[in-house]
A and B are shown apart, each in its own frame.
Chain A
Amino acid sequence: MKTWPLWIAGTIALAAVFHILTVFALPYGIMNRAMAGIAAQSGGVNKPVYPDRATAASRSIVRPSPDLLYTACVYDVSDRPVRLTSPVPDTYWSLSAFAANTDNFFVVNDRQVHNKRIEIILTAREDLVVEGGQPVIIAPSTRGIVLFRSLVPTEEAATEVDALRRQANCEPL
């Protein structure tokens, strides 16, 4: 009995499995690499890094915007919640959080923040109660990336926007 048709069918079926596994695994692999790069620059998780504006030499995250100043940190809420704080400038600004599978599960921008300052708590615990009454965001994965974006509207405003975004912080609660 000829067995080669079975071998071909089996190989194609296995190839389909590898195809699906690769598609599902890619976002996690790429996020893991990005998280490792950010944590290496900031000195660990739950610590911010303040990279310069993106240029052609910036090769860590794809398609960066050269018009924004980014502040990033890798959050890890496996042990404790993380407090995110930042002053809010008079320009476009946002705080966004990304799960381990790349999903953007939270974003808030400057127009949605009162008193020109934000303080929120990121946690994995749905029953967390915060004494200070700060907004609590439930992270769908214990690790991920928090990104603050600050628009640099003009070159003249760059120094001021940069000074303000360097006050953004991520720290364990």
Chain B
Amino acid sequence: MKLALKLLAAVLVALVLGAGSALLVVRSGGLGSQVSSGPWETDLTIGSAEADPYTRAQVAVAGLLALNRNETIYFTAARDGDGNRLRVDCRYKIEGTDPPARWWSITLYGDDHFLVSNPQGRYSYGGESVARNEDGSFTIVVGPDETDGNWIPTGQGHAGDTFTLTLRLYNPDESAARNPSGIALPRIAKEACAS
């Protein structure tokens, strides 16, 4: 009886340790960081049969039904250009030019990987919808307070809550699909925080 109880306890501890550590690793991995360009990160095996078990699990958690990189490259940014986590109570400026793809978009997601509620119902800008500067480049402000021009609201979250941005490149140019780390991607600069 005593041995059975000890065995049961050992199995339970192993289950909590094993499954818990797996969930921790998978959930903290985002969509992979095999390749990076500034604060933007991606994994070349997203959606592919070549993906290792950890990448496949990460994609299932944070990007289910993602396409392979020849069709779409998904870059994710959880930090600004200085390496600090993106926070809902801060204002950021995203500046860049069209990435080498047929179509692109930048979308804001909460920590739960879903779109963030806001009264404007605005979640993203794409190559067709973004207002451009005179030289063809674009500037998007991300923050809690409305601004003129392109603005993605961070919603009404609590101070310190974090968010992520996903940059989708649909039908990327061949050179971009081959070497995603060589793409010049938009810069993310923090301007101010409420607290």
**A and B found bound together:** yes
Q: Is A98 close to B, CB under 8 A?
A: yes
Q: How many residues of B contact A (CB 8 A)?
A: 55
Task: Report the separation of the CA atoms of residues A55 and B155 in the bound assembly, to the nearest whole angstrom.
Answer: 13
Residues 45-58 of chain A, each 1 if its beta carbon lies under 8 Å from chain B, else 0: 00000000011111
Q: Is A113 close to B, CB under 8 A?
A: no
A residues near B56, Cβ cutoff 8 Å:
27, 101-103
Contact between chains at B11 and A31 (CB < 8 Å): no
Q: Is B66 close to A, CB under 8 A?
A: yes
Contact between chains at A94 and B53 (CB < 8 Å): no
Contact between chains at A58 and B26 (CB < 8 Å): no
Task: Choose among B64, B103, B105 the residue that contacts A61 (Cβ–Cβ < 8 A).
Answer: B64
Contact between chains at B49 and A63 (CB < 8 Å): no
Assess A145 versus B65: contact at CB under 8 Å? Given A23-B57, A66-B123.
Answer: yes
Task: Choose among B49, B68, B118, B171 the residue that contacts A56 (Cβ–Cβ < 8 A).
Answer: B118
Task: Report the separation of the CA atoms of residues A104 and B51 in the bound assembly, to the nearest whole angstrom.
Answer: 11
B residues near A27, Cβ cutoff 8 Å:
56-57, 59-60
B residues near A59, Cβ cutoff 8 Å:
114
Count of CB-CB pairs between chains A and B under 8 Å: 159
Contact between chains at A63 and B67 (CB < 8 Å): no
- Of B12-20, B34-42, B79-87, B187-195, the one contacting chain A is B12-20
Q: Is B10 close to A, CB under 8 A?
A: yes
In the complex, residue of chain B having the shortest beta-carbon distance to the beta carbon of A94: B71
Residues 2-30 of chain A, each 1 if its beta carbon lies under 8 Å from chain B, else 0: 00000100111011111111111011001
Task: Choose among B59, B105, B123 the residue that contacts A102 (Cβ–Cβ < 8 A).
Answer: B59
A residues near B49, Cβ cutoff 8 Å:
103, 105, 140
Contact between chains at B18 and A67 (CB < 8 Å): no
Task: Report the separation of the CA atoms of residues A59 and B112 in the bound assembly, to the nearest whole angstrom.
Answer: 10
A residues near B123, Cβ cutoff 8 Å:
54-56, 66
Given A31-B60, A153-B126, 14 further pairs, Cβ under 8 A: A7-B10, A22-B22, A24-B53, A30-B60, A34-B64, A54-B115, A55-B121, A61-B64, A62-B64, A67-B129, A96-B65, A103-B47, A103-B49, A111-B171
15 residue pairs A–B, Cβ–Cβ below 8 Å: A10-B10, A17-B14, A18-B15, A22-B23, A24-B53, A24-B57, A27-B60, A58-B115, A62-B64, A63-B62, A67-B105, A67-B126, A67-B129, A101-B56, A103-B48
